[in-house]
A and B are shown apart, each in its own frame.
Chain A
Amino acid sequence: MGLIGAIGIIIGIPLALSIPWFPATGSSQADRIHTLYNVLLIVSVPIFVLVETVVLYSVWKFRMKPGQEEMDGPPIHGNTRLEVIWTAIPAILLVSLCGYAYSVLRSNEQTHPGAMVVTVTERQFAFQFSYPAAGGKEILSPTLYLPKGQPVVFHLRSLDVIHSFFVPEFSVKLDAVPGITTTLRVTPTRLGNYPAECTELCGAGHSLMRAPVHVVTPTAFRTWLVHQKPGGPPPIGVSPPAALNSGQPGYASGSSGSGGSSGGSG
């Protein structure tokens, strides 16, 4: 049976890894998450194969045969050593995986001093992206343009209900919550056109709440940016993210100081 299990694992792991699970690896965050997933697959396949091997082997070997209708199995009530093993090994394994996942999380949410700030304002059922421009003005765009290799900090805001911001190729997402600003960090690493999706149910138009994302070369990005006209003040209900870019790791929530000034209603 050990042999069957070993063969299962040897076939299973490459099989699981060969499936094209993810869309393109579009950010350094995505790269680390895809590696994490591969590690999870490599750990998971032997566990699944172990369970299935025991089930199938038992079905084959210990199924009731003619004449055994009245028979019972041996009265085995337990085995302390075995029970300690199958408590301790999974516990060690799981805590190790947590440690690894934590290190990935730290790397993915690391702050970069020169990060570009993009404010994402969501409402039913559209995205608006704004880039800071000279003179305190902002450049507003329904399309997200990002330069390749440049760390970006997204400040997410919602004008009505809870939305979310997800670019599958970047492998990161975060909710946009009315009343607070949430912060998401990404470093795009691959040129291309991707979708940004709202993944938090937000009403009838939720399914079609998408926006195009273009990751372009830094030169192309600068060219695009200078051709945009700076807009007026940001839309009603959105205050400038003054208190937000404080360099805290993770997505620090907005302080109450930034919220008092706006009086728009949803």
Chain B
Amino acid sequence: MAIPAKLRAPGWYRAALYDVIGFAFAFGLTVLVRWLMHEHPIIDGNAITIVALIAVPLFFLVGLGTADYWFYWISGRPTRPEDHSSHGAHTWRDYFRVNTDHKVIGIQYTVTSFFFLLVGGLLAMLIRAQLAKPGMQFLTPEQYNGVFSVHATVLIFLFVIPVFAGLANFVLPLMIGAPDMAFPRLNALSFWLLPLAGLMMLMSFLAPGGSFAAGWTAYAPLSTTMPLGQLFFSIAVQLAGASSIATALNFLVTIITMRAPGMSFFRMPLLVWANFSTSLLVVIATPFIAASQFFVLLDTALHFHFFDAFVGAGKNGNVIMYQHVFWFYSHPAVYIMMLPGFGIISEVIAVKSRKPIFGYRMMAFSLLAIVVLGFTVWAHHMFVSGMSPWIRIPMMITTAIIAVPTGIKIFSWLATLWRGVLHLDTPMLFALGFLTMFTLGGISGVMLAMIPFDIHVSQTYFIVAHIHYVLFGGSLFTIFAGVYYWFPKMTGRMFDERLGKWHFWMTFIFFNLTFGPMHLIGIQGMPRRVAEYADKFAAWNLFISLSSFVLGASTLIFLYNIAASWRWGPRAAANPWRAMTLEWQVSSPPPIFNFDAVPTVVGGPYEYGVPGAVHGIFKPPAEARPVTAGAAGATAGGGRTGGGSGGEHH
């Protein structure tokens, strides 16, 4: 029997077929093992689901074609290293295939992440609808716990972390003058793991007993006594984590080995430094959350009894061990969700102020300081957990000290603004909004480091306020700044500036009206993660809910602007911002292999205002080397305006 070509070639048909095979495999394996172990009933829906959750995504990835090259190589069949049939996008369909072009993957990542931003945002609207009045509205407590758990999980693992990976995927190889990432096929696999993880989290709503509802923290032993939906989280996080780690390794190798001639570490743009630092955090920390969720998975599915404090005579509080392992990832994770944003802000503020970044080296060193210190503060999430009391003291001191490198960054950005020529367009407004919001989030962070105050506000709405000031006012504002800033480069079109400003002001104002009052109700004692609250918090909660609906609606302006501009916006020039970094020296969008000629880097990335300064030129190193200060002036025009790579691509 001949298998149709469509089912043999990599793609969606084969992926669907492999999904069926994967499910059959999970079904067969489970039934076989249960028969051998004399378990009754032999066909158990929960057991089959758990095995299928692991098997089906892996079969899907193979079916889609993420591993074809590797299988060819393993089996000794001829590989096709120079076949670029899966590289670059010519039609929209190419974005729905396994594609090895970092620019395609960057857009795949970014668009997918924004889809999950919308999902997470809609879940937030449900949360605020429920909390608009005391007394149950329309969600049961179980549903409510599920909604806020999925809200947090989706926005952390499927939005903030991957959207930064997506933006960097597009921009970073261009910035360092590389034709692609170091491992393009691994890059494609990293991306395709993501939608699977996201869908799995959302599908948990369909599981018997509802979605996972133990918070994104999934503290044992609550999580290990939850219905099946909890394991959708445990397994989905493994997929998202694997994606993170693979991408981080890819960034590290790319940054270390693929920089253009002349681009020393101290000539790298700060976005590259930021992703270098972030990637170090990811590869070191992410295995810990994988471990913590394997604990939950093994405990629930196979009765490992890791956290069952009542088994045996020990009764020694193993449950706190879960929190240590969890936070050893999840504190560095907040820097994973912030450092790339620091990189974006450095790019935007330098270009839009028309000045060099103030204290470039300190900006780079402070990133590395945050990486190191970021691993020494995790137990500040556990000041009221019942852990050994002495641990609190060193964690308080390191938590306070980590504000020093963060402060250096904020002050350096302020000094960069000083005496510049400020272009107050949409990316810059989001950057300045970020400075304000993140300063507030940093201040509440230092307050939370102070153990006695933390004991009062821990697990209250003050924490909800703080986390949204750093992740929404912080990370999301940098993401918006970055998306607007690189939109012309990514799409070849200009966005609508007027709508962008509307989007900024709506978001900025209603963000503060939504999350600002949460500080107050938190200190007054309203616990977080509640579907119901005391009447004295009613007025503020109504106010917060109404503000949050407008905040949610402001996203529609962004979506319309992006969608309409991508389709109908005016063509973008190669370098509309007059930026010096290399990604702006090629056409918008860039040529399929990025650079027609390998660039040579001859100076720093932010030499705005330095007469005749240039960052990169499109000449081989041998010709570039003799360039002196005077001669650089002659080439400045070419380097600065992007003529070097042939201008318009279309």
Contact at A21–B524, with CB atoms within 8 Å?
yes
Contact at B436–A74, with CB atoms within 8 Å?
no
Mask, A55-71, CB within 8 Å of B = 1, is 10011001110001011
Please judge, given known A-B contacts A23-B525, A166-B527, whether A73 and B355 are in contact too, CB under 8 Å: yes
Contact at A101–B418, with CB atoms within 8 Å?
no
A122 located at the interface, meaning its Cβ lies under 8 Å from any Cβ of chain B in the complex: no
A173 located at the interface, meaning its Cβ lies under 8 Å from any Cβ of chain B in the complex: yes
**How many positions in chain B have a CB within 8 Å of any CB in the partner chain?**
96
Contacts of B142 in A (CB 8 A): 204
Contact at B447–A208, with CB atoms within 8 Å?
no
Contact at A168–B421, with CB atoms within 8 Å?
no
> Contact partner of A173 among B313, B401, B417, B458, CB < 8 A?
B458
Contact at B389–A47, with CB atoms within 8 Å?
no
Contact at A94–B386, with CB atoms within 8 Å?
no
CB-nearest residue of chain B to A99: B397
A44 located at the interface, meaning its Cβ lies under 8 Å from any Cβ of chain B in the complex: yes
Contact at B309–A178, with CB atoms within 8 Å?
yes
A220 located at the interface, meaning its Cβ lies under 8 Å from any Cβ of chain B in the complex: no
> Contact partner of A102 among B213, B385, B393, B608, CB < 8 A?
B393
Contacts of B360 in A (CB 8 A): 77-78
Mask, B287-319, CB within 8 Å of A = 1, is 000000000000000000000111001111111
B607 located at the interface, meaning its Cβ lies under 8 Å from any Cβ of chain A in the complex: yes
Contact at B404–A62, with CB atoms within 8 Å?
no
> Contact partner of B443 among A47, A78, A82, CB < 8 A?
A47
A17 located at the interface, meaning its Cβ lies under 8 Å from any Cβ of chain B in the complex: no
> Contact partner of A207 among B392, B439, B533, CB < 8 A?
B533
B541 located at the interface, meaning its Cβ lies under 8 Å from any Cβ of chain A in the complex: no
B488 located at the interface, meaning its Cβ lies under 8 Å from any Cβ of chain A in the complex: no
Contact at B432–A55, with CB atoms within 8 Å?
yes
Q: How far is the CB of B141 from chain A (nearest CB, A)?
A: 4
State the CA gap A164–B452 with chains docked (Å). Answer: 16
Contact at B316–A179, with CB atoms within 8 Å?
yes
B396 located at the interface, meaning its Cβ lies under 8 Å from any Cβ of chain A in the complex: yes
Chain A, interface residues (CB within 8 Å), range? 35 or more
Interface-side segment among B217-225, B278-286, B474-482, B567-575: B217-225
State the CA gap A83–B360 with chains docked (Å). Answer: 11
Contacts of A252 in B (CB 8 A): 389
Q: How far is the CB of B612 from chain A (nearest CB, A)?
A: 11
B408 located at the interface, meaning its Cβ lies under 8 Å from any Cβ of chain A in the complex: yes
| With A47-B439, A51-B435, A177-B317 already in contact, 9 other A-B pairs whose C-beta atoms are closer than 8 Å | A87-B404, A101-B452, A105-B392, A166-B527, A201-B529, A204-B145, A208-B532, A249-B389, A266-B309
Where the two chains meet, the residues of B that have a C-beta atom closer than 8 Å to any C-beta of A are 140-142, 145, 213-215, 219, 221-222, 225, 308-310, 313-320, 353-356, 358-362, 384-386, 388-390, 392-393, 396-397, 400-401, 403-404, 407-408, 410-412, 414-415, 417-424, 432, 435-436, 439-440, 443, 446-447, 449-453, 455-456, 458-460, 520, 523-525, 527-534, 578, 607-610, 613
Where the two chains meet, the residues of A that have a C-beta atom closer than 8 Å to any C-beta of B are 19, 21-23, 29-30, 32-33, 36-37, 40, 44, 47-48, 51-52, 54-55, 58-59, 62-64, 68, 70-79, 82-83, 86-87, 90-91, 94-95, 97-98, 101-102, 104-105, 108-109, 156, 160-162, 164, 166, 168-169, 171-180, 182, 195, 197-208, 237, 249-253, 256, 259-260, 262, 264-266
Please, could you name 8 A-B residue pairs with CB atoms under 8 Å apart, sorted by A? A21-B523, A40-B450, A76-B418, A87-B408, A98-B449, A175-B385, A199-B527, A208-B532
Top 3 A-B residue pairs of the complex, sorted by shortest distance between their CB atoms: A168-B525, A179-B309, A250-B389
